[in-house]
Each structure stands twice: as structure tokens, then as C-alpha cells.
Amino acid sequence: MDIEKILSETDLAAKAPVSEPERQYYYIGKARELVRRRAEEAGHPLRFCVTTFGCQMNARDSEKLAGILKQIGYVEEPDEDKADFVIFNTCTVRENANQRVYGRLGQLHHEKKKRPDMLIGLCGCMMQEPGVVEKLKKSYRFVDLIFGTHNIYKFAELIVTRLMSDRMVIDIWKDTDQIVENLPNDRKYSFKSGVNIMFGCNNFCSYCIVPYVRGRERSREPEDILAEIDCMVRDGVVEVMLLGQNVNSYGKNLKNPITFARLLEQVEQIGGLERIRFMTSHPKDLSDELIEVMAHSKKICKQMHLPLQSGSSRLLKIMNRHYTKEDYLLLVEKIRKAVPDISLTTDIIVGFPGETEEDFKETIDVVNKVEFDSAFTFIYSRRTGTPAAAMENQVPEGIVKERFDRLLSAVQEISARKTAGAVGTVQDVLVEEINAQDASLVTGRTSQNYIVHFAGSPSQIGSIVPVRLDESRGFYYMGTQII
């Protein structure tokens, strides 16, 4: 995709095209001119800072924001207080994520008083939540741009709208079935990248706000996914992570349906691609076909994130998860039989409404039987608009905290034992960066997603090297490269 060629052929004096992505390239051209003028007035190139809250989907969205900002003339600045344009890409899965955003906005307000030309933008899941925009309009009038999850592709157009006016620009869509391809993005890493294969969620777990803020499931065409990955590989990418709220339901809504397993087989055929990861897998949709593909694959990483949420079949039904404790354990047995060296990670919620001590013990029982390599453990967060928020029997905070500590202790003890078992083995490690604490070391990840530090050089970043795991230190290993 030659962006400069596209822009050179775009008539900025004409009306904006109606079709996408042509319309957005038109606005990228318009934005370039407006940013150039503002930079001349400021006496320096304009700087931007994108701060990401939340999941890998948000991280990928932030790369798209950064790509557009760089195309229109901004340069990246890691310090929010020095940036001319600050964008918060927000999450709303838990209440504390919202409070962090409001707190950061309060801090930025002081900076904007000193620099009125500074722009502040908010996007992402939090913006789709009922009541948030009204609160921003009332109490945070200094914010310049607000948009949600469905129209991120319109970022250049929204910037032009804001730069040509002196008002807060708000563009929130309730839902969409549109997917716009071939827009700029700026990858954080040159050698690995996330790739959206679908958007939205149809599951409506009773505690989760994601379907309300991300909309219904919509899958990208496999040809578009394969073309994007092929382009990335030609640009130096060796590992991709296929992203979706529930990748196992990929392809169901396409005109020509395709399963996630068949997509993985096609991705594996791309020459030069070394590793494939994916997340997140919903247990109710994880097929025998997918397990078989993983068992025979030479590129799919030996890692799976399989959210449990609770070990209680009673609570799982109330959560609307569509599987039982027994279903989950059987699924794990199938996966481990097919891929014996797989690393399994999970999500677990403590304190879901009505959780009893017996329910909690069922969760601990699953943790002990599965022996997860690691687990993301969460205290239930009441999200307005979800069925669980209106449920009676909200568990007292003291009981939740005590259970959470017990769960964390169990998970950590198992994780330490599991990681210690890999000491002495030789693993292929994708080198990702120079170690932050010791510049003589590099840091990378195994196929199982274990973090490894070992003596190396910057020239190895982006390459896969064999490393012996010498010592386990809980969440990471110290190793020695095998030459």
C-alpha cells in the first residue's frame, strides 16, 4: 500500500468521497495541511502521545491511531505533559479503569490551562458506556475529541472536524457492521504484531460489558487477514497474534463461512511467518477441529488462554457461560492429550454475586486439577448495564478479599512448581528487547510465552534463538544461549 501515491492522486479541492477507505485518505490529506500550519505557528513539529488502557484489542487500535497521527505530521512523544495531542484509548471492563482515566484527565487539565492549543482525545470502550459522555460534557469540557470503538477508522476525519472548529467533537455509534481495511497503522514492534480477525462479541456473559461497548460479532474476510499478515511478514514480522473477543466463533457471520481452525491452517501457509498466537478462546466454542490443527501445527505456539471465570457449574450458568465445570475439565484433558507441552493460562473472577464458600472451593478444585501455568485473577467489578449488576447477594468486600488472597496463593504455588519443572530444558526464544535492568541481557519469550532473560546483543532482537533455561525466578527465567 503506497500511501503517498494514494494521497498524490486524491483531489483535496473536491468533495470528500463517500466510499471507504478513500474518504479517510482524503481526510488524511486535509489533516496534513492543517497540522503543518499549526506546527509552523508553534515553531516545532507537533507531538502526540497515545496512552492505552486495557486489552490487546485496544493495543492494536492504538497502533492504528498512531499510524494515522504519523501520516498527518505528528511525531511520537512518550511524555503526556510534553505532547500537543494526548489520546486516551480507554477500557471499561472494571470500574477502576474508568477512575484512572478521570484521574489522568484531571492532571491534564492543569497542563491544558498552560497550553490552550493542546488537544485531548478520548476513545475506546469507556466512551460507549451509558452516562460517560454526559459526564465528560458536564465536568470535562476541556476535552476536544470523543469517539468510541466502532468508528476508530474515522480518526483522520474527526481530527479535521476538530481542527476546523473550536468545539468539542463527539462521535459515538451504538453499533456497526462495517469493517474498513487498508488504513495506516504503526506497529509497536517490527518483528511481531497483533492482527484483528474479528470485532465485537455475541456471548453476553452476565458480568461483562464488552458486548455492549464493542457491539455484535463481525469477522474480517480471510483474504483480507491473509493479505495483511503476508504484508507484515514481508516487512519483517515473524510472529502474529490473531485477536478477537472470541476467536473460536470466527467466520460464522461471513457470506462464505469458515471456521477458525481452517483460518489457522491458511495462516500457517504464509512463508516466513514463524509463530502464530491467538486470543481469546471461549471454552464453549473450542472445537475438536481446532485442537487437531494445533496438535499438527509447526507454527502455532504451545500456549492457550482459556478463561474459566468460575469452577462452580451453578455460577457458570448464572454467568451465562454455556459450559459446566465438568465440560471445562474434559476440554483441558483433550487439549493436553493433543498438545502435551502446552501452557494453559486463564481468567478467574472472585466474588461474583451469590458466590458461596462451596462455589469458591469448586474454583480452587479446578485450579488444582488443571494446574494453570498462570492465571489472571480478578475481584468482581459491578458494571452498570449488565445483568449481574442488578443481582442480589452481592458478596461482602471482606469475604471477597479473603477468597481472592487464597486463590492467588494457590495459583502462585502451582505456577512456581510448573515453571521450575522446565529448568534445564532448551527452548526457542523470540528475542524482543534489551533488558530494562541490565543492558548486557536481552529478554524474549518461549513458545509457551514464558519470559526469559539471557546474555545477548541488540542485533538479536526479532530473531529466534535456542536458550537453556537455567533458573526459574517465579514469573521469568534466567537462561544461557546455546550456540
Mean pLDDT, contiguous 10-residue spans, the chain (483 residues):
83 93 96 96 96 90 96 96 96 85 93 94 93 94 96 96 94 89 90 96 93 92 97 97 96 96 98 96 96 98 97 98 98 98 97 98 98 96 90 94 98 93 96 94 97 97 97 93 91
**What is the rounded distance in angstroms from the CA atom of residue 418 to the CA atom of residue 302?**
15
Helix, strand or coil, per DSSP, at residue 377: strand
Determine the pLDDT at residue 340.
Answer: 96
The predicted pLDDT at position 356 comes to: 98
The answer to whether the beta carbons of residues 203 and 172 sit under 8 Å apart is: no
List beta partners, residue 277. 241
**Nearest partner of 232 among 274, 269, 192, 260, judged by Cα:** 192
Q: Which of 429, 431, 449 is nearest to 191 (CA)?
A: 431
Angle, helix 357-370 to helix 325-338, in steps of 10 degrees: 10
DSSP state, residue 7: H
Query: Do β-strands 145-147 and 275-279 pair in parallel, antiparallel, or remain unpaired?
Result: unpaired
pLDDT at position 129 is 87
Strands (E), 275-409: 275-279, 303-305, 343-350, 374-379
Instruction: Give the helix ranges, DSSP H, for 16-131.
Output: 22-42, 56-71, 95-114
Q: Side chain identity at 232, as an amino acid letter?
A: M
pLDDT value at position 7?
A: 85
Kindly report the pTM of this predicted structure.
0.91
What was the pLDDT predicted at 1? 63
Cβ contacts of residue 46 below 8 Å, gap of 6+? Answer: 35, 38, 39, 73, 74, 75, 84, 85
Instruction: Tell me how many helices (H) and strands (E) the chain has.
Output: 14, 19
Determine the Cα–Cα distance for residues 462 and 188; give it in Å rounded to an integer.
13
C-alpha cell belonging to residue 226: 491473509
